[in-house]
Structures are given as structure tokens and as C-alpha cells.
Amino acid sequence: MNLKKAGFSTAAVAAATPLIFALLPAGVASAHGYISSPPSRQAQCAAGTVDCGQIKWEPQSVEGPKGLTSCSGGNSRFAELDDDRKGWAVTPVGRSVDFTWSLTAQHATATWEYYIGNDLLASFNDGGARPPATVTHNVDLSGYSGHQTVLAVWNVADTANAFYACVDVNVGAA
């Protein structure tokens, strides 16, 4: 009786294990990074500033192929990050801004890039170095005013991927 019961349990666990892994969201097992200050869209989701779906549990997981220009990094499950009308908090800033990344995994880094629309505002080349857990860049926004959405891109050196974060700012309001 005991043996049969034990045998059944083992089989049940063996059968269930692949299912459990299949059900885990892909981003949970690996960890990466996002802009925490000024609060990026995914940071606002994580903080509950804006009501969001899965992204609120893993703001560091907006990973996609290099070269994209979308806030979601092409992830359909994070598509709400691309919605400009979702009520994102807009941070008043001066003519330059310190953007701070919080990295939960410190991947070897090619470049960090900052865009408004198609304009590259700034690029920082780490030459493949492994960054510290917190990275801050000062970016000049003096050619802009009013509400702008800055797209920040973390290009990983040893994969084809990048991490994406959009930050809504009001330039010249602070």
C-alpha cells in the first residue's frame, strides 16, 4: 500500500514538473535591468503608480533584439508600455537629466543609448565591460522642451539583445 502510494506520487511529480516550468513566465528565471530614476514606465508599473499587467512583477525584463525603437522592446505581453495614453507620470526635469539604471544582472555591455524619436541624444560605450549594479548617465536635453518620451537602450555585448526603457519627462520644467 505504501509502496504503491509512493510510486504514484513520484510519477505524478515527474509528470507535473515540465508543466510547472512551462507555466513560468519566461522573464522570471533570468534577471536584467531597467531605469529606476526618473521612474521609467516599467518602474511606474512596479511601483503601482500606473495599473499594469505582468510587467509590474518584472520591470527588469523588457528585453528584445537590438535596434528596436519601442518601449516594450517588441514584447507583446508588455505592449501596454507602448501606450502613450496610459497615464504615465511625467517627471519635471531641467535641461539635462541623470538617468539611473537598476541592474539585477550585470551583463557585459556594449553601449547605452538615449533617443527622442529617431534622434540619438547620447551614447555611452562600455567596450564589453561588466557594469556595477547601478549605472547613471547624464544626458543633455537642451534641444528639447515640454513633454518628451526618452527611449533608453542597454545593448548587451555578448548577446543579440538589448533592454528597453521609456521615461516620460517634461523638459525645462524643473
Site residues (vs Cu ion, CB under 5 A): 30, 32, 105
Ranges of H-type helices in 64-136: none
**Could you give phi then psi for residue 103, rounded to 5 degrees?**
-105, 120
Nearer residue to Cu ion within complex by CB, 140 or 158? 158
* Smallest distance, Cu ion to C-beta of residue 158, A: 11
Rounded CA separation 142/116 (Å): 12
The least CB distance from residue 103 to Cu ion, in Å, is 8
Q: 32 vs 41, which CB is nearer to Cu ion?
A: 32
C-beta of 88 vs 163, nearer to Cu ion: 163
C-alpha cell of residue 162:
538589448
Nearest to 40 by CA among 32, 49, 31, 28: 49
In the complex with Cu ion, which residue's Cβ is closer, 17 or 30? 30
Question: What's the closest the beta carbon of residue 31 comes to Cu ion, in angstroms?
Answer: 6
Query: Smallest distance, Å, CB 164 to Cu ion?
Result: 13
- CA distances, 120 to each of 7, 44, 57, 113, 141 (Å): 62, 24, 30, 7, 11
